Homo-oligomer: A and B are copies of this chain.
Amino acid sequence: MKKRDPIKKVRLLDVARVAGVSPGVVSQVLGKGRSNSRASAQTAARILKVARELNFSPDPSARRLRGARSNLYGVLVASAGDPLVSFLVEHLDIEAMKGGCHTLICNTIGNTALAPDQFDYHVRELLHQGVDGVFCAVHEWFGGNRRELVRLHPNTVFYDDPGIPGTCHVSIDREAAGRLAVRHLFERGCKRIGIALRGLSRPKQAARLKGYRAEMSACGLGTDNALVFNGEDFRSAIPVCDERGERWDFPCVIGIRVVDALVRDGGADGIVAPDDFWASVIIRQLRARGIRVPGDVAVVGYLNHYLSDWIDPPLTTIGRCPDEAARRMVRMMEQMVKAGPLPEGERAVLIQPKLIVRQSA
Binding site for B on A (CB under 8 A): 1-4, 7, 57, 59-62, 64-65, 79-83, 86-91, 93-94, 97-98, 102-107, 110-111, 113-114, 118, 125, 127-130, 152, 154, 246-247, 250, 277, 280, 284, 287, 306-307, 309-312, 322, 339-341, 343
Contact = CB atoms under 8 A, between A and B. Distances in A.
Oligomer: number of copies: 2
Nearest 8 A/B pairs, CB to CB: A81-B90, A81-B87, A86-B86, A61-B64, A80-B90, A61-B61, A307-B310, A3-B340
B114 A97 contact: yes
Contacts of A57: 128
A1 B340 contact: yes
A89 B93 contact: no
Contacts of A106: 93, 102
A152 B98 CA distance: 23
Nearest to A250: B309
A125 B72 CA distance: 13
A136 to B, nearest CB: 16
Contacts of A86: 80-83, 86, 89
A90 B79 contact: yes
Contacts of A7: 127, 152
Contacts of A311: 310-312
A114 B100 CA distance: 11
B82 A94 contact: no
Contacts of A154: 4
Contacts of A81: 83, 86-91, 322
A5 B298 CA distance: 55
Nearest to A3: B340
A163 B153 CA distance: 44
Contacts of A343: 1
A51 B59 CA distance: 29
Given A312-B284, A341-B4, A80 B98 contact: no
B107 A247 contact: no
B60 A129 contact: yes
A89 B88 CA distance: 14
B250 A339 contact: no
A310 B247 CA distance: 11
Nearest to A126: B102
Contacts of A309: 247, 250
A62 B60 contact: no
Contacts of A310: 277, 280, 307, 310-311
A205 to B, nearest CB: 22
B83 A98 contact: no
A100 B307 CA distance: 35
Contacts of A129: 60, 102
Contact of A110 (B90, B102, B110, B246): B90
29 contacts: A3-B340, A7-B127, A59-B130, A61-B61, A62-B65, A65-B65, A80-B80, A81-B87, A81-B88, A81-B89, A81-B90, A81-B91, A83-B306, A86-B89, A87-B246, A90-B105, A90-B110, A94-B107, A97-B107, A97-B114, A98-B113, A102-B106, A102-B125, A102-B129, A103-B104, A247-B309, A307-B307, A307-B310, A311-B312
